[in-house]
Structure 1
Amino acid sequence: MARLEVTVPFRTFILKVANRCNIDCDYCFVFNSKDQAARHLPARMGLDAARAAARRVGEHVMAHGLRAVHVVLHGGEPLLAGVRHMAGLLGAVREGIPASTEVHFELQTNGTLLSDAWLDLFERYGVVVGVSLDGPPAANDRHRLTHHGRSSAAATIRGIELLRSRPHLFAGLLAVVDLANDPVEVHDYLASFEPPVIDFGFPHGTHDDPPHRNDPSVPEYGLWMSQVHDAWLDRPDHQHSVRMLEDIVALSSGVRSSVETLGLAPPTSVVIESDGSIEGVDTLRSVGEGASLLGFDVFNHSLDTALHHPKLLHRQQEGTAALAQQCRSCPLVAVCGGGYLPHRFSTDRGYRNPSVYCADLAYLIQHVQGSLQRHGWALGTTASAAP
């Protein structure tokens, strides 16, 4: 019997409003990975590209009856677009999407350029702001230095403190895990800024170019995040969530998550570059030159066309069939989902590999599930496959 083709519409639209950055993070998948395409794209998105993108989002909204969408302003460093130009971009996007559809604007920044003028603009359009910070200054500056090799921490902290003066605009903090940093110290330092969310991510790596480990036989990243988990639970005065851990809790409890890094739900985000080109998963730049490209753009192609591109369609319709055999038979697959797509890649087998973080995810998931069971939570059926 032929498989019934059912596609899930995009609900998150990531606009690369700037393709330059004022700091030089050594792990950056945009500028310091195998794919250097961003360096040749327009430094900022033009109003024509923004209007075309908004028109395509509007078409998508109408075709799928979407009541709300997320528009994420990203880069590079999006604040390099400038306040006046960003105001034009926000206006163009809002005007191009039907007024009956709620638009949730979000922006991810390194925080160094935040000012009252920026926050005034964000107030006008309801833009919530996430800031990237890897921990205390010494931890942050292991990887997040300026182009002149100087610390970026003080400028980022100043931006966070300014943002905290308008807490309704503060979306949270994003941190990349570094095994050289103390996980409890990093967690507690980030928590001291009272963010609503702390979002930890593993550094991008593939089987061809695996992440750094001190001892490859030990699930060091899983151990690191497990210590974060315990610190998070042990401090009841903290009110923030830790996204990776809450996703594991939700998935372990049978909730079908929509995050791309965990679980088996189809992806619902799409990237629109500063020149209007459409990409599926931009972090695939860490895999190789052109891995993220679809060959479409908002001037000539609808988002439904992108939705049915083979690079995206197989992830929507194949479920566990798109995973490695080892993953399909694993009892944790409904929680880890085989791991994040870029982290599965090898030249020999494409994406049909377990994640380079397979052992880490297994350790962390089991640690979180053990904690849930000790607290009397009933776990869902973690071995169930997506249809």
Structure 2
Amino acid sequence: MVNQSGRINPSGASLMIKPVGAACNLDCTYCYYLPTHDVYGDRAHRMHDVILEEIFRTILPEYEDHVSICWQGGEPTLAGIEFYEKAMGWQEKYKRPGQVIENLLQTNGTLLDDEWGAFLSKNRFLVGLSCDGPPHLHDKYRYTVKGDASSDKVLRGLDVLKKHGVEYNILCVLNDVNVKHPELVYNYVTKLGSRYVQFIPAIEWEDTKEDYVQGHAAADVGLKKISPSAVEYGQFLCKAFDMWNTHHRTHLSIQLFDVMLNQYLFSRSTLCINSNACHNQLTIEYDGSVYGCDHYVNHRWQLGHVSDRDWRHKKVDDTGMVALTVSAGDEPDEDWYEGLDRDVFETFAKRKLDLPEKDCGRCEYQRFCYGGCPKHRPRRGEVTEKTVLCEGYKLFFEHAMPTLEKIATHYRHYGELPATEAEIERQKQVKSGVIRPGQKVKPNELCPCGSGMKFKKCCKN
């Protein structure tokens, strides 16, 4: 999900919270988080109030001046509005003077109603809405637990966000079907009214339940059919980049493209996948257990537990996880954050650069991908092999680098992004008299710049 606090050179700390674990009202085929059900068993997955308060009581005094709290699932709205009202209260109670807290909610949108809209607007949430393109593509893999299509419910949720003036972005998962239609998908999601869009590849492995729970992967495990090929992913990015660069670059953020601009301008990545270590975002599960990444929620990579610094030596429950060790009125440990397993954390973070010399050592693009996400490597990064998306990355980098370098050079000189081709064409039309200076265009009319978009979604911004 995009953190919009600063499109160029953003700063601050982030924390991901899973208030209902993997619980969800949808049953998406490619869901990367559903297997965590096997880690936790069949217990009711909902965060205890004591855990919720303890997170903010201990984290906020230690974190930076700007903190992003990302609420994810599963489907985080299943926790209910009352849960989040308590969270807002504890944030206010424990934050430092001058500390800014930004709340982000990643949702499938199907449960949003006016009550949710009012709450999200009042508390200035940024909402990430999942949409995989037009209904016939979105509904291919995103359906309810009853097997029904979900696209109509998503669009109703989007209407709620618009009605209440809630800032939102679009998260589009690329699978083996929609990745073949870059123009169709790009045009659809960019016309949903968001200024921030992410394209995420669905790279999922055929793990067994036991392998996932223990954090290991067998040598012969292959990718699931729903995963896009590397070349298809690269081709999608190339086409999306060209459309973005021509029409939308100055007023629409596409996460990966902005990340690469940051790498050109500031020599650092704002996205873990493209950085040199996995260390950017702690993830706290509903029961208080802490991990370094929500793609590695299993016994092997647990770092600690919110309610108890001595979590490794406590009796675990029948699911193998540490049970809740504090209750309302108790005084929890003062420094559970300091009690995180630093050895596991260091090992987890450094796996990012365990790359094959023959493939990555002399690669001209290594500083832009650093091998990608370890989860996208064979056996989830347990062996020294390149990402399965390598050829797609190379295809995209080779295509986009010259343009990105020009954009970065312009930004260094002038402190702003250069005009898009569509904006330049509009300026030419004004000068030639095709478009009159000051000509009024109604919001729902096609933009005179030739982008094919409505004026309110294009040059009006």
User: How is 1:272-351 mapped onto 2 (pairs within 5 angstroms)?
Assistant: 272-285=284-297, 290-294=299-303, 296-301=304-309, 302-306=336-340, 309-314=342-347, 321-325=353-357, 326-346=359-379, 350=382
Offset of 1:265 from its aligned partner? 5.7
Which residue is 2:50 aligned to? 48
Which residue is 1:145 aligned to? 143
1:26 lines up with 2:29 in the alignment: yes
Which residue is 2:399 aligned to? 367
Q: Do the aligned partners of 2:56 and 2:91 also contact (CA within 8 Å) in 1? A: yes
Offset of 1:60 from its aligned partner? 2.4
Taking a change above 3 Å as real, the CA distance of residues 244 and 40 of structure 1, as seen in their structure-2 partners, is farther
Which residue is 1:111 aligned to? 109
Offset of 1:232 from its aligned partner? 1.7
Which residue is 1:5 aligned to? none
Letter in 2 for 1:353: E
Letter in 2 for 1:37: V
Which residue is 2:432 aligned to? none
1:71 lines up with 2:69 in the alignment: yes
Which residue is 2:3 aligned to? none
Which residue is 2:129 aligned to? 131
Q: Deviations over 1:27-52 (max 9, x none)?
A: 11111x48722554542212111011
Separation in structure 2 between the aligned mates of residue 176 and residue 341 of structure 1, nearest angstrom: 18
Taking a change above 3 Å as real, the CA distance of residues 375 and 197 of structure 1, as seen in their structure-2 partners, is closer
Q: Do the aligned partners of 1:30 and 1:36 also contact (CA within 8 Å) in 2? A: no
Q: Do the aligned partners of 2:29 and 2:141 also contact (CA within 8 Å) in 1? A: yes
Which residue is 1:210 aligned to? 223
CA RMSD of aligned residues (A): 3.0
Q: Deviations over 1:232-290 (max 9, x none)?
A: 223249832110122123224453113111132653210111111101111125xxx53
The SS at the match of 2:283 is: strand
Identity of counterpart residues, as a percentage? 23
The SS at the match of 2:104 is: strand
Taking a change above 3 Å as real, the CA distance of residues 303 and 339 of structure 1, as seen in their structure-2 partners, is same
Q: Deviations over 1:276-331 (max 9, x none)?
A: 1101111125xxx535423x11111333443x633432465x59753332323322
Letter in 1 for 2:200: G
Which residue is 2:327 aligned to? none
Separation in structure 1 between the aligned mates of residue 348 and residue 266 of structure 2, nearest angstrom: 20
Separation in structure 2 between the aligned mates of residue 273 and residue 233 of structure 1, nearest angstrom: 39
Letter in 1 for 2:112: L
Separation in structure 2 between the aligned mates of residue 330 and residue 49 of structure 1, nearest angstrom: 45
Q: Do the aligned partners of 2:289 and 2:305 also contact (CA within 8 Å) in 1? A: yes
Separation in structure 2 between the aligned mates of residue 277 and residue 130 of structure 1, nearest angstrom: 24
The SS at the match of 1:134 is: coil
1:356 lines up with 2:388 in the alignment: yes
Which residue is 1:385 aligned to? none
The SS at the match of 1:188 is: helix
Q: Do the aligned partners of 1:256 and 1:265 also contact (CA within 8 Å) in 2? A: no
Higher relative contact order (CA 8 A, sep 6+): 1
Which residue is 2:89 aligned to? 91
Offset of 1:11 from its aligned partner? 1.6
1:165 corresponds, among 163, 166, 174, to 163
Separation in structure 2 between the aligned mates of residue 238 and residue 10 of structure 1, nearest angstrom: 24
Q: Do the aligned partners of 1:111 and 1:159 also contact (CA within 8 Å) in 2? A: yes
Q: Do the aligned partners of 2:51 and 2:288 also contact (CA within 8 Å) in 1? A: yes
Taking a change above 3 Å as real, the CA distance of residues 108 and 58 of structure 1, as seen in their structure-2 partners, is same
Letter in 2 for 1:51: E
Q: Which residues of structure 1 form unaligned runs of 5+? A: 1-8, 381-387
Letter in 2 for 1:365: F
Taking a change above 3 Å as real, the CA distance of residues 122 and 34 of structure 1, as seen in their structure-2 partners, is closer
Q: Deviations over 1:130-149 (max 9, x none)?
A: 11111111111111000111
Which residue is 1:120 aligned to? 118
Taking a change above 3 Å as real, the CA distance of residues 30 and 194 of structure 1, as seen in their structure-2 partners, is same
Taking a change above 3 Å as real, the CA distance of residues 35 and 353 of structure 1, as seen in their structure-2 partners, is farther
Separation in structure 2 between the aligned mates of residue 118 and residue 366 of structure 1, nearest angstrom: 44
Taking a change above 3 Å as real, the CA distance of residues 367 and 34 of structure 1, as seen in their structure-2 partners, is farther
Taking a change above 3 Å as real, the CA distance of residues 271 and 350 of structure 1, as seen in their structure-2 partners, is same
Kindly tell me the number of residue pairs found equivalent between the two proteins: 358
Offset of 1:363 from its aligned partner? 1.2
Taking a change above 3 Å as real, the CA distance of residues 188 and 56 of structure 1, as seen in their structure-2 partners, is same
Which residue is 2:80 aligned to? 82
2:239 corresponds, among 221, 227, 237, to 227
Q: Which residues of structure 2 form unaligned runs of 5+? A: 1-10, 206-218, 310-335, 413-461
> TM-score, normalising length from structure 2?
0.70
Letter in 2 for 1:177: L
Q: Deviations over 1:313-370 (max 9, x none)?
A: 2465x597533323233221110111012112427x7153211111111211221103
The SS at the match of 2:379 is: coil
Q: Do the aligned partners of 2:54 and 2:307 also contact (CA within 8 Å) in 1? A: yes
Q: Do the aligned partners of 2:203 and 2:227 also contact (CA within 8 Å) in 1? A: no
1:240 corresponds, among 216, 236, 252, to 252
